[in-house]
Chain A
């Protein structure tokens, strides 16, 4: 989807390249290590907006930052009441659902870009492309997408904060995004957009790696690569602890 966005934006960017600003993005932690005691973290995304000459941009730009986690296919089911009992009724398959999605900006997105631009660059929770497969009924898909976004938002994995970005002296910008402890691991992209009068003038990407480390990584790898031994270990630990407790309590 990002590739598509770039091809669409390509000609416009080439035409105005001379006047377009340069974005220099950075993140506070390019690698987030998930290890024992990890309870989530605050990611600081910051950077500078410069004119092509490298001087201060001297114009007011709107800044929108999208932090997106690894996408995976999902099936989404909706419960309906059948004969007094709530059962899973309708379902849909979404081929690319980001495991984490945060969009932050310096003022409400609706004032920064119009709907079409928001859809092209996937700016905002309502503009998220989830690539549904199967039924293409737009109303139904919208209904499912809204349900998913609501679910993810309440679990803290999707967020939209329209005042999180602060732009200082037309040069520096910064934003903080909170990652909860249950963020999926993988490669995250933080894409910063400089927007003026509804047009995206520049964008730049920074990467963030979220990975399990140390003991947590060892356990996760062990369970995936050596399932037989992992299972035996789990059973062994259970029996040993049960037996040990029996011995200890027999002494008391």
Chain B
């Protein structure tokens, strides 16, 4: 099924793109990560210009998040109060990220920075999650399931001012989620990702949020931050390809629903281990990509 993309200016096999959307949508529904960390590199690998890939992947993540947020919201799995603070931080971060992106692009080092960020972030988070879930799985098998004391990081407690976040079961400074939101906003703009894979572990281990609201709230933040990213790309790079986005959306919104359904029937520990494995795999692939001789020594950029 050949479909011509008007902004990317090339024709693609529509079914491949829909399949790609389905895959990342399922990840989104199961784990609450946007899936952008897979979509963007795969689209580029398929031959879509990088800017178009990043800009259009953002709107795909928006679509997948909507159905995810609705699904989790129905089950009371979204802390809107916490989500609101994260969104404000995220939108601020998107603006900062755009400035940073521009500066790095002028230096010609944006690719290297993005790849190094991917390796560092994915490697450390994937490693952390894998270690944690393997430990708990072992403990579970022994029959002595340890009750992890849910507690936020000491640094969070030292921040001034405290708000009550009822659904998360927290009484902490709003600065903590604001800074976290900002950080993921910067990553969204730089790496073309939703930031969910950073947000979910950070909410669990740094903020100490209740596991039942983590995925829904993370999707809620991603929803708004990717909307801001799409708008920013539409205004500055003009690289949002509506046809590409719709193809990705067809796959990802269905995938997100299937994923959410699957997630409610599966063991969360095993899910976390699988996510850790995927994240580590992408990190290793990126690390190899940095040190191996690249396929293209020369790259062009329009002036």
Residues of A within 8 A of B (CB): 34-40, 72-79, 81, 84-88, 91, 93, 97, 144, 147-148, 150-151, 180-182, 184-185, 212, 215-217, 219-220, 223-224, 227-228, 230-235, 237-239, 241-246, 248-249
A242 engages B303 (CB within 8 Å): no
Which stretch, B32-40, B167-175, B209-217, B237-245, touches the partner chain A?
A: B237-245
A-B contact count (CB 8 A): 187
A238 engages B290 (CB within 8 Å): no
A38 engages B231 (CB within 8 Å): no
Question: A224 and B238 in contact (CB under 8 A), knowing A86-B294, A215-B6?
Answer: yes
B297 engages A147 (CB within 8 Å): yes
**Which residues of the other chain, B, contact A150 by a CB distance below 8 angstroms?**
298
B234 engages A231 (CB within 8 Å): yes
**Which residues of the other chain, A, contact B301 by a CB distance below 8 angstroms?**
74-75, 77
**Which residues of the other chain, A, contact B63 by a CB distance below 8 angstroms?**
237-239, 241-242, 245
Closest 10 CB pairs of A and B: A242-B66, A231-B234, A245-B253, A182-B10, A181-B11, A147-B298, A249-B257, A238-B62, A242-B63, A238-B63
Q: Nearest CB to that of A245 among chain B residues?
A: B253
CA distance A34 to B11 in the complex (A): 10
B253 engages A235 (CB within 8 Å): no
27 contacts between A and B (CB under 8 A): A34-B4, A34-B9, A35-B4, A38-B11, A72-B303, A75-B108, A76-B298, A76-B299, A77-B298, A81-B293, A86-B290, A88-B112, A148-B298, A181-B10, A182-B10, A216-B6, A220-B7, A223-B238, A234-B59, A238-B227, A238-B245, A238-B249, A241-B250, A242-B66, A243-B67, A249-B254, A249-B261
Question: A242 and B65 in contact (CB under 8 A), knowing A219-B7, A219-B242, A220-B7?
Answer: yes
| Cross-chain contact of B11 among A39, A217, A235 (Cβ < 8 A) | A39
CA distance A59 to B2 in the complex (A): 46
| Cross-chain contact of A37 among B2, B250, B292, B297 (Cβ < 8 A) | B2
| Cross-chain contact of A233 among B2, B64, B242 (Cβ < 8 A) | B242
B227 engages A242 (CB within 8 Å): no
Interface hub of A150, A219, A234 (most chain B Cβ within 10 A) = A234
B144 is an interface residue with CB less than 8 A from chain A: no
| Cross-chain contact of B298 among A151, A232, A245 (Cβ < 8 A) | A151
**Which residues of the other chain, A, contact B108 by a CB distance below 8 angstroms?**
75, 77, 88, 91
| Cross-chain contact of A239 among B66, B254, B302 (Cβ < 8 A) | B66
Question: A74 and B249 in contact (CB under 8 A), knowing A86-B294, A241-B63?
Answer: no
CA distance A238 to B231 in the complex (A): 12
Q: Given A78-B297, A241-B250, list of 13 further CB < 8 A pairs? A: A37-B2, A73-B302, A79-B296, A85-B112, A93-B303, A97-B300, A181-B11, A185-B9, A219-B242, A232-B231, A234-B230, A245-B254, A249-B261
CA distance A235 to B246 in the complex (A): 11
Q: Nearest CB to that of A214 among chain B residues?
A: B6
Interface positions, chain B 66-105, Cβ under 8 Å from A, are 66-68, 70-71
**Which residues of the other chain, B, contact A237 by a CB distance below 8 angstroms?**
59, 63, 242, 245-246, 249
**Which residues of the other chain, A, contact B7 by a CB distance below 8 angstroms?**
219-220, 223
Distance (Å) between the CB of B32 and the closest chain A CB?
15
CA distance A79 to B240 in the complex (A): 28
B235 is an interface residue with CB less than 8 A from chain A: yes
Distance (Å) between the CB of B267 and the closest chain A CB?
22
B256 engages A245 (CB within 8 Å): yes
B60 is an interface residue with CB less than 8 A from chain A: yes
